[in-house]
């Protein structure tokens, strides 16, 4: 009850002012908020609104090709039908996975991995669901896409290696990005369809082969299905660079066929440029399985294989160079003034040093023999004597000049330097003095000596040319001039080695005379056989008669080696072949080397004829 009208009016006015002020403050606050949303934060919320209608997709670039010297494909790409999952568009993951299982087999382990990725990843980062799908299943899923929210079909690419096993150890393969390489500022590395080089040339030239990613903006409906692309905001993905190698694809395949069924390696070099024309390691593996995702079962089988198919024996395998090393000893002895090529040394089948007996491979010996014949028939006794005169340190120095002790892994990874022993090396390694008997063994390429097949090919190329030939996988165009330094041996010493190697395959008494005539025209060539022992033959076994390789377990058999170059007068190619536990170099390695070199010469001749004809037409 108010006492007067004035009191009533005053109280009404106060209330009106309070409510009016509150309304004004609310209006001001609302206006400020609207101003912030519509003006200050307009870009932010406009983007959020657009994301309800538009999405951006990373465009993965096509990986560059790898080709041989003639431009023939060694590694390319083929279509890969795959499914990706966009987490931010998924409602119920379990329901989605259940529906997908109705279209194709989705194993429990794959589903578990998808759930793990779904829980841990950025909601806008795609998750791989399936790859390398058949077209019918892929098309069916595209038809039912409205019932599969979050699923994004994509036609990507998968790496393809047409030569398969024949090229695996050189070209290598691609695989998923290792977790340690994924970085936030490189979204391409986080894309589930992206692959990087894991081994071989694929790894060595990975950055050049990758290319540059692009981006695509597209419109989607409420279910996340693509309505249309917006080409005006599309950034093109740039294809990776094409890498051209010195390899000859056909020769590589021929070399692989020649070594089929063996455990070993073969290397073919152009003696003038050092270009690697073929490099094979057997047995091999199919890199296509790795590119598509090899199963644990298949991978474990490769690891357990005693023939080591994953190991590149051509650059990483270390073997006694055996008698293939005798040319090095002969040249070193001549240039040191320690032997006259006409000097004849008597071989009785063995030589005694202290209380030890060192045997020649020929039980009854070779009789009186000179240097050329000693190389041709591979007389061990002759080279025991040369090694004794030289000493291990001079043998060591000469071996280094021929490439022994150098890791020629060609940036493929996994290469070995082999081993060239010396007095200092033994003292450092075992804290023991060098023994003269070890020098004799080194003189025939045995003992501590170890060489890789590519080192043996380099040695052969250097003998053939007298130049310091260095191997390379880089293709050398005809305009490029390769300058090779002199090897550092006299012309006479080089002639001694070459004539000896010519005797091996062209003289009736040579150890590889059965391989005489490298083609139908009886083109002369040069070579050297070798039989690398993997065990010491006891005196008891010698007395009882040495067992033949075929009667021994595989791992106890000798390695079969052969090195050679062709043609004899104008060398073009050098080759080395090593067959693990193959037995005789003349019977097992030489015929394979002959087959490979024969094809190399025919290939070079046909290309030269074609070039000459084109020149005449021009």
Report CA-CA distances (Å) from 466 to 498, 565, 595: 10, 13, 25
Q: Tokens 């794959």 map to which residue? A: 110
Q: At what angle do helices 326-335 and 380-390 cross, to 10 degrees?
A: 50
Render pLDDT for 104-118 as a digit per residue (tens, 0 to 9).
888 888 888 888 888
Closest by alpha carbon to 63, among 153, 195, 250? 195
Active site residues: 323
Closest by alpha carbon to 470, among 275, 229, 256? 275
506 compared with 520, residue with greater pLDDT: 506
390 compared with 101, residue with greater pLDDT: 390
Helices (H) and strands (E) in the chain, counts: 23, 19
pLDDT tier for residue 20 given thresholds of 50, 70 and 90 = confident
Render pLDDT for 366-419 as a digit per residue (tens, 0 to 9).
999 999 999 999 999 999 999 999 999 999 999 999 999 999 999 898 899 999
Give yes or no for residue 48 having a pLDDT over 70: no
User: Which element (helix H / strand E) includes 8?
Assistant: helix 5-35
Average pLDDT taken over every residue of the chain: 86
Q: How many CB atoms lie within 10 A of CB 114?
A: 21
- Cα end-to-end distance, the chain, whole Å: 122
What is the residue-wise DSSP string for 358-412?
Answer: EE-SSTT--EEE-HHHHHHHT-HHHHHHHHHHH-HHHHHHHHHHTTTT----TTS
Arithmetic mean of pLDDT, 87-112: 85
Closest by alpha carbon to 86, among 59, 108, 113, 118? 118
Render pLDDT for 543-599 as a digit per residue (tens, 0 to 9).
566 567 677 887 888 999 999 999 999 999 999 999 999 988 999 999 999 999 999
Q: Is 157 exposed, middle or buried (0-12, 13-18, 19+ CB in 10 A)?
A: middle
Q: Residue 511: phi, psi to the nearest 5? A: -70, -15
Render pLDDT for 159-177 as a digit per residue (tens, 0 to 9).
999 999 999 999 999 988 8
Q: Is 181 exposed, middle or buried (0-12, 13-18, 19+ CB in 10 A)?
A: exposed
d(CA 601, CA 608): 11
User: Which element (helix H / strand E) includes 280?
Assistant: strand 276-282
Res 52: pLDDT: 52
Res 218: pLDDT: 64
Q: How many CB atoms lie within 10 A of CB 366?
A: 22
User: Which element (helix H / strand E) includes 429?
Assistant: helix 423-430
Helices (H), 101-159: 108-120, 135-143
Give yes or no for residue 617 having a pLDDT over 70: no
Res 56: pLDDT: 63
pTM for this entry: 0.81
The pair of structure tokens assigned to 138 is 């892929």
The mean-pLDDT minimum among 20-34, 186-200, 364-378, 455-469 falls in 20-34
Arithmetic mean of pLDDT, 16-44: 73
Give yes or no for residue 511 having a pLDDT over 70: yes
Arithmetic mean of pLDDT, 144-161: 84
pLDDT tier for residue 54 given thresholds of 50, 70 and 90 = low
Give yes or no for residue 2 having a pLDDT over 70: no
Give yes or no for residue 613 having a pLDDT over 60: no
What the chain holds in terms of domains, given with CATH numbers, is 58-244 (3.90.1310.10), 249-614 (3.40.710.10)
Contact 457, 267 (CB under 8 A): yes
- Biggest CA–CA distance in the chain, Å, is 151
The pair of structure tokens assigned to 58 is 């990373």
Res 400: pLDDT: 97
Res 616: pLDDT: 47
Beta strands in 161-221 (DSSP E): 174-176, 195-197, 214-220
Res 546: pLDDT: 58
The residues near 334 (Cβ < 8 Å, ≥ 6 apart) are 341, 371, 490, 492, 493, 496
pLDDT tier for residue 87 given thresholds of 50, 70 and 90 = confident
Contact 417, 437 (CB under 8 A): no
The mean-pLDDT minimum among 94-108, 259-273, 477-491 falls in 477-491
Give yes or no for residue 134 having a pLDDT over 70: yes
């Amino acid at each position: 009850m108010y006492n007067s009208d004035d009191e009533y009016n005053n109280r009404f006015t106060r209330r009106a002012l309070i409510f009016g002020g509150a309304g004004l403050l609310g209006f001001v606050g609302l206006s400020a908020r609207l101003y912030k949303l519509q003006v200050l934060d307009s870009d932010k919320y406009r983007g959020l609104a657009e994301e309800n209608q538009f999405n951006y997709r990373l465009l993965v670039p096509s990986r560059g090709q790898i080709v041989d010297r003639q431009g023939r494909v060694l590694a390319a790409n083929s279509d890969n039908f795959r499914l990706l999952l966009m987490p931010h568009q998924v409602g119920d993951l379990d329901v989605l996975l259940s529906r997908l299982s109705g279209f194709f087999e989705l194993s429990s382990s794959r589903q578990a991995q998808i759930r793990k990725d779904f829980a841990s990843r950025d909601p806008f980062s795609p998750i791989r669901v399936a790859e390398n799908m058949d077209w019918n299943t892929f098309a069916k899923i595209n038809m039912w896409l409205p019932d599969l929210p979050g699923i994004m079909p994509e036609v990507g690419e998968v790496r393809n290696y047409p030569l398969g096993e024949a090229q695996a150890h050189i070209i290598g393969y691609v695989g998923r990005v290792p977790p340690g390489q994924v970085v936030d500022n490189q979204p391409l590395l986080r894309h589930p369809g992206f692959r990087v080089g894991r081994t071989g040339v694929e790894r060595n030239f990975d950055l050049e082969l990758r290319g540059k990613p692009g981006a695509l903006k597209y419109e989607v409906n409420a279910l996340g299905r693509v309505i249309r692309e917006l080409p005006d905001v599309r950034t093109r993905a740039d294809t990776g660079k094409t890498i051209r190698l010195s390899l000859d694809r056909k020769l590589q395949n021929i070399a692989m066929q020649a070594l089929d069924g063996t455990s070993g390696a073969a290397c073919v070099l152009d003696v003038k440029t050092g270009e690697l024309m073929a490099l094979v390691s057997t047995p091999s593996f199919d890199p296509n399985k790795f590119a598509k995702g090899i199963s644990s079962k298949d991978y474990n089988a490769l690891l357990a294989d005693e023939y080591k198919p994953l190991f590149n024996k051509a650059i990483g395998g270390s073997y006694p160079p055996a008698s293939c090393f005798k040319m090095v000893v002969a040249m070193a002895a001549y240039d040191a003034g320690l032997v006259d090529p006409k000097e004849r040394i008597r071989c009785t089948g063995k030589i005694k040093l202290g209380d030890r007996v060192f045997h020649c491979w020929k039980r009854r010996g070779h009789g009186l023999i000179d240097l050329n014949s000693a190389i041709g028939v591979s007389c061990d006794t002759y080279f025991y004597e040369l090694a004794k005169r030289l000493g291990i340190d001079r043998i060591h120095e000469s071996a280094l000049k021929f490439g022994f002790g150098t890791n020629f892994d060609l940036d493929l990874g996994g290469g070995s330097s082999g081993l060239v022993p010396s007095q200092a090396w033994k003292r450092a390694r075992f804290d023991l003095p060098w023994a003269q008997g070890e020098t004799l063994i080194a003189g025939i390429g045995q003992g501590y000596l170890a060489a890789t097949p590519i080192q043996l090919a380099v040695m052969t190329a250097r003998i053939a040319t007298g130049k310091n030939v260095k191997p390379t996988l880089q293709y050398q165009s005809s305009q490029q001039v390769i300058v090779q330094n002199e090897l550092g041996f006299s012309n006479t010493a080089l002639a001694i080695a070459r004539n000896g190697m010519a005797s091996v395959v062209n003289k009736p008494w040579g150890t590889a005379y059965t391989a005489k005539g490298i083609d139908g025209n009886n083109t002369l060539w040069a070579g050297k056989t070798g039989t690398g022992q993997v065990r010491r033959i006891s005196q008891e076994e010698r007395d009882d008669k040495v067992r033949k390789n075929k009667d021994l377990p595989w791992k106890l058999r000798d390695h079969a080696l052969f090195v050679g170059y062709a043609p004899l007068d104008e060398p073009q190619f050098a080759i080395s072949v090593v067959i693990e536990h193959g037995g005789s170099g003349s019977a097992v390695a030489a015929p394979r080397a002959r087959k490979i070199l024969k094809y190399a010469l025919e290939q070079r001749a046909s290309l030269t004829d074609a070039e000459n004809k084109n020149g005449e037409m021009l």
